[in-house]
Amino acid sequence: MKFAKLAEYFEKLEATPKRLELVDILSQLFKEASNDEIGKICYLIQGRVAPFFEPVEIGMAENMVATSIASAYKTTKEQVIKSYRQLGNIGLAAQKLSKNSKFPFRLETRSRQAIPNSKLSVGHVFNGLLAIAKSGGVGSVEKKITILSDLLKKLDPISVKHVVNIPLGTLRLGIGDPTVLDALSMSKVGDKSLRKVLEEAYNKTSDLGYVAEHFFKHGETGIRKTELIVGKPVRPALAERLPSAEEAVKRLGNEFAAEPKFDGFRVQVHLDRSSGNRAARLPGATKEKKVVELFSRNLEDMTHAFPDLVEGVTKEVEAKSAIMEGEAIAYNSQTQEFLPFQETTKRRRKYKVEEMAKELPLVLFAFDLLYLNGKDITGKSHKERRKLLESILNKDNSVIRLAEERVIHSAGEIQEFFNEAISEGLEGLMLKKLDSPYVAGGRGFHWIKYKRAQAGELNDTVDVVLLGIYSGRGKRTEFGVGGLLVGVYDAKKDEFVTISRIGTGLTDDEFRKMHEIGTKLKAPHKPARVRSKIEPNYWVEPKVVLEVYADEITKSPIHTAGSDPETGIGFALRFPRLVKFRDDKRAEDATTVDEIKKLYSNQYTKNKK
C-alpha cells in the first residue's frame, strides 16, 4: 500500500466524530492492507513504530521537526514555527509549505487535479521513522533531522501532515484499541464476532501490531491459539469491589485465598535465561531483550528504574523462564516496616537511579505466576499457580519474596486478617477464588479487593480520566486552570463519559501541572471517544488518569456516565478531591461505568442498612 493511501484514510478518521464510522473506515483500510503491512499500519495508527511497551521513542522535539521541515522545503525554522503558531498544528504548517514547494506532480485525468506522484509505501515510511528512533550517539540529532527531511521531500502534502505529527506524539485520530479490534474482525468476517477472540490475544501480548499480523497470516484458528510470550507484557487481571466481607463470602464460597493488598507499584517480571538474541525470536521486537524485564501496570518498561529488583530476580528466582506478578514497595527490613506510597513513588525516575536504589531499596512481594519454563499456565487454577510460585521462590529471599497468603472460610476471618493488614500500614486485602484461572485484562469476582472504608459515604477511590479544562479566574489565572472536567470509561462502547467537575482540592503545584498537561494534550475539538453534554473551555485527549475521593455517587442530569437512554440521567461524584496522579494507569484502565453502577448500588445498600 502506498503511504498516500494510508494518509487519505487518516484524513477520514481525523474528521469522523462517531465511533461506528471509525470502525467502518478502519475495516475498509484493513481490507486493502497486506499481511506484511497490517502490523505496521496498526502501530502507525497508535502514533508509534513499536508496541507501547517497547522503549522505542522517535525522540524528536518541536525544534528538530521544524528544522527537518525547513530543510525539506527550503525555508527557515523560524518561518516553520511561525506558521505552526498560526495554524495550531505543526502538521498543518508542513502541509502548507509542502503545497508551495516544487514537487513532481502528475495530472489526475478524472478530477483534473494536480496530485503528488509519491511512490513511497507504508513500509518505506515506517522504516524511515524506525530508523529515526534507532539513531543514537554522536551526531544522532543531525541524522534524525536528515532522515525526516528526506522522507518529507518524497511525500504528498496530506502524507506530510500526518508524518510530522508522529514524532511529536500529536497524531489525533481518536482511535482506541477496542475500535481497532472491532475493525480487524469486520475486515475479515464482516462483523464484530471475532472481537472477543482478538481481545484475548491482545490481553496476552499487549501488542496490537503483532495480533493484527498474526490474525491476517494465520486466521481465526491461529489467533485462538495465542499464548503468552516472555518479553511481551500481559495485560493485568483486575479485581471487583464489594461493600462487605459477607458479600465477598457469598461470591467466593466457603474456602478462598486472602493476601495483603500492598500500596506500591504493581510489577510484572519477565525472566528468560536462554542464550542467543531474543529479538530474533520475538515477533515485532525492535531490539535485543534482556534476561530480566520489568513492566508497570500500564505496560511501561521499567527495567532501567529498578536495578535492585533486576538483581534480585536474577539471583533469587529459580526458573529458566517465568512471568510473574508482584507488588514493589519501599520496605525497611530492619524495622520490618512498609513505607508510605509517597516514599515508594520516589523510585520511579530516569536519573540517579542507582543512587536512589541504595537510599530507598524495594522489596517485590510476588503474588501470581503466569508462565513457567516455556509454558503458559494462566489456565491453571489459582491454587496450582500458587504452588508453582512457591516452588521457584526461596523463603530466605531478601528482595523477591512470596506474598503472604491465607486460606480462609468466613467473614470473621476476613475481618481479622484485614485488621492485621491495616495495622501494618497496608491498604487492605485481595480475596481470590482458589479454582479460578488467571484472566488477562479481565475483571471479575474471581478477585475481590477489600479496602478500608474512607470518611463519607463512598468506600473507595475512583480513577477518573481528564477530559477537559476550565480556565482559571482570580488567583488561578496565573495557573491557567480553574477546574477540570473528568470522566470514566465505558468499556462496552469504548468511550469516555463525564462524571464530575473538579475545582477544589488541588495544590498550586498540581494546578500548574494540570496546565502543563492541558497545553500538551489540548485537542482542537471534542475527541471522538468522548460523550458529554457539557463543554469545558477546551478539550484534552483522554490520556491522563487521576485518583479521586468523593463523598458519594449521586444521580445527575448533566453527566453522561451510565446515563439512562430515556431520562438522560447519569451518575456524578459529589465533592470530588484529587488524591494523586495515576501515572501507572492508561485511560482505558480507569474506573468503568459498570464499576460506578456497582459502587452506587453498594453505597445505597450500606445506607439502607
Among 47-61, 185-199, 420-434, the range of highest mean pLDDT = 185-199
Residue where a domain terminates, one of 425, 451, 477: 451
Which helix (H) or strand (E) covers residue 522, if one does?
strand 522-523
State how far the Cα of 241 lies from the Cα of 428, in Å rounded to an integer: 12
Question: Hunting for cell 529479538 — which residue is that?
Answer: 279
At residue 455, the pLDDT reads: 32
Distances (CA, A) of 291 to 365, 369, 399: 20, 17, 17
- Do residue 407 and residue 262 come from a single domain? yes
At residue 566, the pLDDT reads: 86
Q: What is the pLDDT of residues 491-531, one digit of tens each?
A: 888 899 999 998 877 788 888 888 889 888 988 888 889 99
Instruction: With a cut of 60, say whether residue 254 has pLDDT above it.
Output: yes
C-alpha cell at 324: 510473574
At residue 397, the pLDDT reads: 92
Mean pLDDT of 11-25: 89
- Do residue 164 and residue 262 come from a single domain? no
At residue 552, the pLDDT reads: 84
Domain presence at residue 511? yes
Using DSSP's 3-state secondary structure scheme, residue 580 falls into: strand
Number of domains in the chain: 3
- Do residue 430 and residue 498 come from a single domain? no
478 falls in which pLDDT band (50, 70, 90)? Answer: low
- Do residue 426 and residue 474 come from a single domain? no
Question: Per the residue annotation, which of 96, 188, 261, 432 is the catalytic one?
Answer: 261
C-alpha cell at 189: 468476517
Counting Cβ atoms within 10 Å, is residue 413 exposed (0-12), middle (13-18) or buried (19+)? middle
Q: Which of 60-64, 274-278, 414-418, 598-602 has the lowest mean pLDDT?
A: 274-278
Radius of gyration in angstroms for the set of CA atoms belonging to the chain, rounded to a whole number: 25
C-alpha cell at 121: 509505501
At residue 108, the pLDDT reads: 42
Which CATH number characterizes residue 443's domain? 3.30.470.30
Q: Which of 407, 382, 399, 402 is nearest to 391 (CA)?
A: 402
Residue 379 Cα to chain centre, angstroms: 25
Distances (CA, A) of 515 to 1, 126, 469, 470, 577: 40, 33, 9, 10, 18
Beta bridge partners of 326: 267, 366
Q: What is the pLDDT of residues 557-573, one digit of tens each?
A: 899 999 988 888 999 99
319 falls in which pLDDT band (50, 70, 90)? Answer: very high
Distances (CA, A) of 61 to 79, 145, 167, 170: 17, 10, 8, 12
Domain presence at residue 210? no
- Do residue 370 and residue 494 come from a single domain? no
Q: Which long-range contacts (CB under 8 A, 24 or more apart) does 551-557 make?
A: 551/456, 551/457, 551/458, 551/575, 552/456, 552/457, 552/458, 552/603, 553/458, 553/596, 553/599, 553/600, 553/603
Q: Which of 258, 215, 191, 189 is nearest to 42 (CA)?
A: 215
Which CATH number characterizes residue 71's domain? 1.10.3260.10
CA dihedral 294, 296, 300, 302 (to 10 degrees): -40
At residue 360, the pLDDT reads: 80
Q: What is the pLDDT of residues 366-407, one digit of tens each?
A: 999 999 999 999 999 999 999 999 999 998 899 999 999 999
**Do the Cβ atoms of 99 and 158 come closer than 8 Å?**
no
At residue 276, the pLDDT reads: 53
- Do residue 484 and residue 349 come from a single domain? no
At residue 112, the pLDDT reads: 40
475 falls in which pLDDT band (50, 70, 90)? Answer: low
C-alpha cell at 386: 500458587
- Do residue 162 and residue 270 come from a single domain? no
- Do residue 438 and residue 488 come from a single domain? no
Q: Which of 248, 241, 182, 209 is nearest to 56 (CA)?
A: 209
- Do residue 140 and residue 256 come from a single domain? no
Residue where a domain terminates, one of 168, 201, 216: 168
State how far the Cα of 539 lies from the Cα of 465, in Å rounded to an integer: 12
At residue 287, the pLDDT reads: 56
**Do the Cβ atoms of 41 and 197 come closer than 8 Å?**
no
Distances (CA, A) of 573 to 266, 539, 577, 579, 585: 27, 20, 10, 14, 20
Beta bridge partners of 21: none
At residue 244, the pLDDT reads: 85
Domain interval for residue 148: 48-168
At residue 349, the pLDDT reads: 72
Distances (CA, A) of 589 to 120, 491, 580, 583: 37, 10, 15, 11
Give the distance between the most distant pair of CA atoms in the chain: 81
Mean pLDDT of 57-68: 90
Q: What is the pLDDT of residues 152-183, one digit of tens each?
A: 999 999 999 999 999 988 887 878 899 999 99
State how far the Cα of 310 lies from the Cα of 316, in Å rounded to an integer: 10
Alpha helices in 445-551 (DSSP H): 508-521
State how far the Cα of 135 lies from the Cα of 139, in Å rounded to an integer: 9
Mean pLDDT of 130-136: 91
Q: Which of 359, 346, 348, 270 is nearest to 304 (CA)?
A: 348
Q: Does 591 or 574 have the greater pLDDT score?
A: 591
Q: How many other β-carbons are positioned within 10 Å of the β-carbon of residue 593? A: 24
State how far the Cα of 408 lies from the Cα of 391, in Å rounded to an integer: 22
Beta bridge partners of 501: 485
Domain presence at residue 567? yes
Domain presence at residue 5? no
Strands 462-470 and 443-451: unpaired
At residue 109, the pLDDT reads: 41
What is the DSSP code (8-state) at residue 374? T
Alpha helices in 378-537 (DSSP H): 382-392, 411-423, 508-521
Domain presence at residue 70? yes
Instruction: With a cut of 50, say whether residue 31 has pLDDT above it.
Output: yes
Domain presence at residue 231? no
Q: What is the pLDDT of residues 443-453, one digit of tens each?
A: 889 999 987 65
DSSP per-residue codes, 263-308: SSEEEEEEEE---S-GGGTSTT--SPPPSEEEE-TT--B-GGG-HH
Q: Does 298 or 213 have the greater pLDDT score?
A: 213
- Do residue 296 and residue 434 come from a single domain? yes
At 180, give phi and psi (nearest 5°): -65, -40
Which CATH number characterizes residue 577's domain? 2.40.50.140
Mean pLDDT of the chain: 87
Q: What is the pLDDT of residues 143-158, one digit of tens each?
A: 999 999 999 999 999 9
Whats the size of the chain, residue-wise? 609
State how far the Cα of 294 lies from the Cα of 305, in Å rounded to an integer: 9
Mean pLDDT of 461-487: 82
At residue 279, the pLDDT reads: 47
- Do residue 416 and residue 552 come from a single domain? no
Give the list of residues 6+ apart from residue 9 with CB closer than 8 angstroms, or none: 25, 26, 28, 29
Q: Which of 284-288, 406-410, 479-483 has the lowest mean pLDDT?
A: 284-288
Residue 103 Cα to chain centre, angstroms: 40
Counting Cβ atoms within 10 Å, is residue 131 exposed (0-12), middle (13-18) or buried (19+)? middle
- Do residue 445 and residue 536 come from a single domain? no
Beta bridge partners of 277: none
Quick check: is 261 catalytic? yes
Domain presence at residue 233? no
pTM score of the predicted model: 0.80
Residue where a domain terminates, one of 451, 478, 493: 451
State how far the Cα of 528 lies from the Cα of 562, in Å rounded to an integer: 18
